[in-house]
Structure 1
Amino acid sequence: MNDVAFSRREITASADDIALLRKFYRDIYIYEFPDPNERESLENMERYLRLKEEGWYEANNYHILLFLSDDTPVAGSIIDYLADPNTGVIEFLVVQKDLRKAGVGAQLLAWTENVLAQDATRAGYAAWDYIIAEMNDPFKSADLHDSMDTWERAMVWHRWGYRKMRFPYVQPSLSPDKEPVHNLLLMCKPGTGVNPDSIPPDTLITAVYDYARWAMRIDNPAANQECRDMAAYVRSQTTVPLVPLADYIGDPAGCRLRYSDLYAGDVTDMDLRELDITLDVYAQSFSGGPTSVSVDAFRTSIINRRHAGKPYAYHLLSIKTRSSDQPRGMASFFTFPGVGFGGYLVLDKSIRGKGHLTEIIRVAERTMLADKKGVSGWLGECDPEDDSLPAFLKRGFYEMDVAYRQPPLHDQPPYSFSDAPILHLIYKEFGDTFTAPRLTTKEFLAMISWVYRIIYRIEHPESCDYFQDIKKQLGLLPHCPWKSKID
């Protein structure tokens, strides 16, 4: 597919162009943006075109660009140019489904970016500094209907040079009858001459406020709750990182390590030598005590496929460097209905302390989402005897403000409830996190029941001392309490 396959049309407020816009909206746009809270109304698009003709946008601009095939819209982008931050905004970019993977999106994006460059030149700049765009966050959109696989879409935009802006983006409501949207991320393409790895806080706040003012009709963004919350966070940062999308979503193309799920498939497919080497790495850190399973019991559980055919999923990842087939680490975790649970994470000294933990967390979360068990976060335990807790807190986990007593593991000597070790109980919502989870007590108790039942083999967890103790501590609290993080 090449450029000559389509004609290009920038839509104006003329009657003929409005007819094309209505056809595009009806036949393509609504299907591609099924969430009514995310999509703009046709009436507003037509109004913006009229306002543009009247000069309302001043140094800013608004464009609707369409690709046509025999006068029928097949792709389009809706964009804004914001002069003060010298930033373009891609509100929507969509290609008819049967034309995807043929280079049409890249052609449309090139035209879109060129139009924004012309706007920047008219505003007195050499070129645009940034282009920003919204996208469904794959970690927070698993249960939503989407016209395209969210992981695949993220990689398309990654290849186009866009990066995730690491701050808590929330799309304010587009009209009084719509709700704010919390499952989006804001991505950015840095222009030439600006730092490709970060954006200054003042520039980002100006861009978000102007976007809200000019595209969402929020006359005073500083009075809007979502805008204020975003600005408060951004102002607290010295800079806002721009993270490659492949890194953020844990895509193999962006990973520095390699991962093999030793529990996938049948036991006859398992590489027993790799399993034994992986368990040797485990034994280096977990050589005994109430928080660890013996290597023999671990191996027997894997070989006997204890978790196969159950209403939950289990994963045992061996972790290798790109340059070696020798396992250098392992991560085990469960996906229960409604919650994930981290088992053991071990890295040998050759790769420890080299910044791999964030990537491993992303890979685990992506794997749990693929299990389709309705999960949006995961629990974990940290032993006070080691130094693991701060590393997890730094990467988005929160510690529950309870005294969490660990039941005996099945292959360890039994002990009484009063002698049970007290561990740190942590929880993280998938993807980037910036505030403590809004996890209800009812939700948590259902989650911890799975942990007691499967991990600790307590047949009736709701009646055991451990469950009753933590339930008593939570009392009538509607939501789980969390300990404050100390930087």
Structure 2
Amino acid sequence: MEYVQIKSIDDPLFVKMYELLQAVFPEEEVLEFELWREPIQDPHLRICVAVHEGEVVGATEYRYYPDMNVAMTDFTIIGKEGLGVGRFLMKKREEDLMKMAKEHGNELFGMFAEIYDPYRVEEHEFGGIKPMDPYVRREVLSHIGYRKLNFPYVHPSWKNDGEAVSALDFCFLSYKHEGDTLPAHLVVQFLKKYYAVLPNKSDAWYEMIKNLEAKTEVELLPI
């Protein structure tokens, strides 16, 4: 299996990855095809695929923020069972992120991720791919070490229609961080920067940010 970084939406592997993305995730979680053209040029963003016998069998998108020394896993897709795709992507992603942090004189502090709450998304089939089942994914991510940040989380729809998307928890995987809380200002700074690309945000999102700005720390809970 090969780990291949995609650097252009004109790459045939990007088309295959995007089809997998559409098959697995709800419409409001998928950015329009052409809108990927500019972001994919960001040197701190990675879109990588697992290629097995010429086919894309998995994919992951992640990014590193040198100013905050944190990363974000945008998505991980396992497109085929029985190949160890999930562990393969996780290890390759971790190695790459550690390298990026080191290039900036840092040791990676930790990584954010949005994780589905299976009790609120039972109607979605996630492409019928069993490893993508939200119950399975949540348990795997818990084993890896992710914990959820204790506040009601919404994010702007990637359709950029101003709607709020719920049914997810905002989570954090610690690398260099110890303790059961995160500084609230770090969470706010990250969310504002991450979603700056979407100008249309709901009142619920702004209210969530306002409530976070009133806090000093945000509790980390098991998932």
Distance 1:29 1:143 in 2: 18
CA distance in 2, matches of 1:205, 1:116: 22
For residues 226 and 128 of structure 1, the distance between their equivalents in structure 2, rounded to whole angstroms, comes to: 31
Q: State the partner residue of 1:233.
A: 211
Partner of 2:14: 21
* Deviation at residue 224 of structure 1 after TM alignment: 6.3
Structure-2 residue corresponding to 1:39: 30
**In structure 2, how many angstroms separate the alpha carbons of the residues matched to 1:178 and 1:39?**
15
From 108, 112, 117, the counterpart of 1:137: 117
The equivalent residue for 1:243 is: 221
CA distance in 2, matches of 1:176, 1:107: 32
Which whole-Å CA distance do the structure 2 matches of 1:20 and 1:71 have between them? Answer: 9
> Number of matched residues?
219
Hey, what's the Cα distance between the residues in 2 that align with 1:239 and 1:14? 39
SS state at 2:195 partner? helix
| Contact 2:8-2:14 at 8 Å conserved across structures | no
Q: Is the 8 A contact 1:62 1:80 kept in 2?
A: yes
Partners of 1:141 and 1:106 in 2: CA distance: 24
Q: Is the 8 A contact 1:209 1:227 kept in 2?
A: no
Q: Distance in 1 between matches of 2:211 and 2:80?
A: 37
Gaps (5+ residues) in structure 2?
none
Tell me how far apart the structure 1 counterparts of residues 45 and 90 of structure 2 sit (CA, whole Å): 16
The CA distance in 2 between the partners of 1:70 and 1:113, in whole Å, is 24
Are the counterparts in 2 of residues 84 and 206 from structure 1 also a CA contact under 8 Å?
A: no
The offset of 1:111, in angstroms, is 1.1
* TM-superposed deviation, 1:13: 2.3
**1:361-406 deviation line (CA, Å, top 9, x unaligned):** xxxxxxxxxxxxxxxxxxxxxxxxxxxxxxxxxxxxxxxxxxxxxx
Indicate whether 1:149 and 2:133 are aligned.
yes
The Cα RMSD (Å) is 2.2
Which residue is equivalent to 1:7? 2
Deviating 4+ runs (over 6 angstroms): none
What CA deviation, in whole Å up to 9, does each residue of 1:236-292 have, x standing for no partner? 3332111121xxxxxxxxxxxxxxxxxxxxxxxxxxxxxxxxxxxxxxxxxxxxxxx
Letter in 1 for 2:116: N
- Please say if 1:165 is aligned against 2:162: no
Change in CA separation of 1:226 and 1:63 when aligned onto 2, cut-off 3 Å = farther
Structure 2 equivalent of residue 124 of structure 1? 105
Q: Give the whole-Å Cα distance in 2 for the aligned partners of 1:14 and 1:24.
A: 10
- Normalising by structure 1, we get a TM-score of 0.42
The CA deviation string for residues 58-109 of structure 1, in whole angstroms up to 9 with x for no partner, is xxx111011111222111101121222211111110111334xx53212201
Which residue number in structure 1 is paired with residue 65 of structure 2?
82
Q: Which residue of structure 2 aligns with residue 255 of structure 1?
A: none
- For the residue of structure 2 that corresponds to 1:139, the secondary structure is helix
1:114 maps to: 95
Alpha carbons of 1:95 and 1:149: their partners in 2 closer, same or farther (altered >3 Å)? closer
8 Å Cα contact 1:79/1:88 also seen in 2: yes
Q: Which amino acid aligns with 2:101?
A: A
TM-score (norm 2): 0.87
Aligned 8 A contact 1:36 1:178 in 2: no
In structure 2, relative to structure 1, the CA distance for the partners of 1:66 and 1:149 (3 Å cut) is: closer
* Maintained 8 Å contact 1:190/1:196: no
Question: What does residue range 377-416 of structure 1 map to in structure 2 within 5 Å?
Answer: none
Partner of 1:185: 169
Specify every segment of 5 or more residues in structure 1 that has no aligned partner in the other structure, as ranges.
1-5, 246-487
1:202 aligns with 2:185: yes
Q: Which amino acid aligns with 2:8?
A: A
Residue 119 of structure 1 aligns with an amino acid whose one-letter code is M
1:218 paired residue among 187, 198, 206: 198
Q: Give, in angstroms, the shift of residue 178 of structure 1.
A: 6.5
- Percent pairwise identity: 24
**Structure 2 vs 1, CA of residues 145 and 67 (structure 1 numbering), >3 Å: closer, same or farther?**
closer
Matched, 1:176 2:160: yes
Residues 106 and 231 from structure 1, CA distance in 2 versus in 1: closer, same or farther, beyond 3 angstroms? same
1:66 aligns with 2:66: no
Written as runs of structure 1 = structure 2, the 5 A alignment for 1:307-326 is: none
Q: How many angstroms does 1:173 deviate by?
A: 2.3
Larger radius of gyration: 1
8 Å contact 1:164–1:242 — kept in the other structure? yes
Describe the shift of the 1:189–1:196 C-alpha distance in structure 2 as closer, same or farther (beyond 3 A). farther
Indicate the SS of the match to 2:93. Answer: helix
Identify the range of structure 1 (65-74 vs 40-49) with the bigger mean alpha-carbon deviation.
40-49
- Larger RCO (CA under 8 A, 6+ residues apart): 2
Q: Tell me, yes or no, if the aligned pair for 2:185 and 2:216 is still in contact at 8 Å.
A: no
1:98 to 66, 81, 86: 81
Task: Quote the offset at 1:158 in angstroms.
Answer: 0.7
